[in-house]
Amino acid sequence: MKKIYNPSKEEWSTILQRPTQTVADIESTVLTVFKKIQSEGDIAVSTYTEKFDQVKLDEILVSTEEIEAAKQAVSTELKEAIQLAKANIETFHNAQKTDKVFIETSNGVACWQEKRPIQKVGLYIPGGTAPLFSTILMLAVPANLAGCNEIVLCSPPDRNGNINPAILYTAHLCGVTKICKVGGIQAIGAMTFGTETIPQVYKIFGPGNQYVTVAKQLATKFGVAIDMPAGPSELLVVADDSANAAFVASDLLSQAEHGKDSQVILVSTSKDLIDKVETEIDIQLAELPRKDIATIAISNSKLIYVENDQTALEMINEYGPEHFIICMKNEDFYVDRIANAGSVFIGNYTPESAGDYASGTNHTLPTNGYAKQYSGVNLDSFMKSMTFQKISDIGIQNIGNAIELMAEAEGLQAHKNAVTLRLESLK
């Protein structure tokens, strides 16, 4: 990791740059795949699966027999861990339910808001270098709590045409209605346009590599909503001498092992801690099974020293990390003032891994600085707010004249007439 001491504010944008390609670099590839799927459906999906995943499939849909075999293949211990995580995630997201909002804004004018589920949602679950079955919990659990009718899951098959048993077990446990062996751009395209086998959905959720992220963004041009731009994983830790260097190093590496394009950053007011963390990273990295991946990610990462908390906070808010860990003596300063972060982890005993799996919060979060304007996935992500109103004869008399005046001022005579006719009928 590169060590940087007291960078000027003018240098921040360069120092904090993510190691990602731009939409323009990938857009043409995505649109080519989309066009093929629009015109050829399942045939195009299978062609691209063979090209990108090096496997020729007879069936895109996962069968009941495959699900049953997967349930047998997953160990009892892992099943119990998944069930514990599911219970915590359900508890936290169930608490996010809100009651109908009702108010009489004027005498005889009743307005209220109710939430309705998005009927058809698509879940993208990465399964390449790491089968992220935990993401199913984060997406299918709130989808079910919201009441979504159709939950379609796409995940890339391995070279033998199979999906990891833990993914299949978790999908079945969480009530996914259809599981498809398809990944990458072609999965996003299939859920965007629909094929003979894969249903078209109204909103697509889930993280992925840079190609998946751009595909999701371009899908919005074709009438499909997405959760957020959620690309390569990232973590920023702010720490001082009160932090445990081994813990900090383990947290940085936990995100670095996600993928070669992941990024991790340590911001510290202690040069001594930076040196200790650097040493710990070298020690722990050597023991990781995914050492090759983590090493490349670490090369894109930074150890940054700043002199005070205010400078650190300004830099962190400028970066807008997906995951943000606070290990500082004055943690409240950061907790109270952080403006841009996807999810925040506080104290030496709160690893980012807890949020990834089992604490209950959602790990599908905005990356690449989008924490400045996007929230992470939550129960409301799977719902729409609808407003209602009912106006009585007294109510229309109370607000009718104001509507007439405003409509006339905007030159919209039919709008005015719709009120005038009602008012005259009451004379």
Residue 413 marked as a ligand binder: no
Residue 397 marked as a ligand binder: no
For residue 368, give every residue at least 6 positions away whose Cβ sits within 8 Å of its Cβ, in sequence order, or none.
Answer: 18, 20, 229, 231, 232, 234
Residue 370 marked as a ligand binder: no
Residue 124 marked as a ligand binder: yes
Clarify whether 323 is annotated catalytic: yes
Q: What count of residues does the chain have?
A: 427
Tokens matching residue 380? 């409301």
Clarify whether 322 is annotated catalytic: yes
Residue 233 marked as a ligand binder: yes
In 3D, which of 264, 283, 261, 280 has the Cα closest to residue 272?
A: 280
Residue 410 marked as a ligand binder: yes
Which residue has tokens 């996003």? Answer: 188
Which residue has tokens 């040069």? Answer: 271
> Which residue in 234, 257, 280, 322 is the catalytic one?
322
Residue 172 marked as a ligand binder: no
> Which residue in 234, 323, 352, 363 is the catalytic one?
323
Considering only CA atoms, give the Rg of the chain. Answer: 25
Q: H-helix or E-strand containing 238?
A: strand 234-239
Say if residue 77 is exposed, middle or buried (CB neighbours under 10 Å; 0-12, 13-18, 19+). Answer: exposed
Residue 66, CA atoms < 13 Å, CB-side half-sphere = 19
Say if residue 9 is exposed, middle or buried (CB neighbours under 10 Å; 0-12, 13-18, 19+). Answer: exposed
Are 325 and 250 in contact by the 8 Å Cβ rule? The answer is: no
Are 347 and 331 in contact by the 8 Å Cβ rule? The answer is: yes
Q: How far apart are CA 403 and CA 226, in angstroms?
A: 36
Residue 258 marked as a ligand binder: yes
Which residue has tokens 């209605």? Answer: 177
Q: H-helix or E-strand containing 425?
A: helix 413-425
CA 150 to chain CA centroid, Å, is 19
Catalytic residue numbers, as ranges = 322-323
Give the residue numbers of the binding site: 124, 186, 209, 233, 255, 258, 323, 356, 410, 415
Give the residue numbers of the binding site for Zn(2+): 255, 258, 356, 415
Give the residue numbers of the binding site for substrate: 233, 255, 258, 323, 356, 410, 415
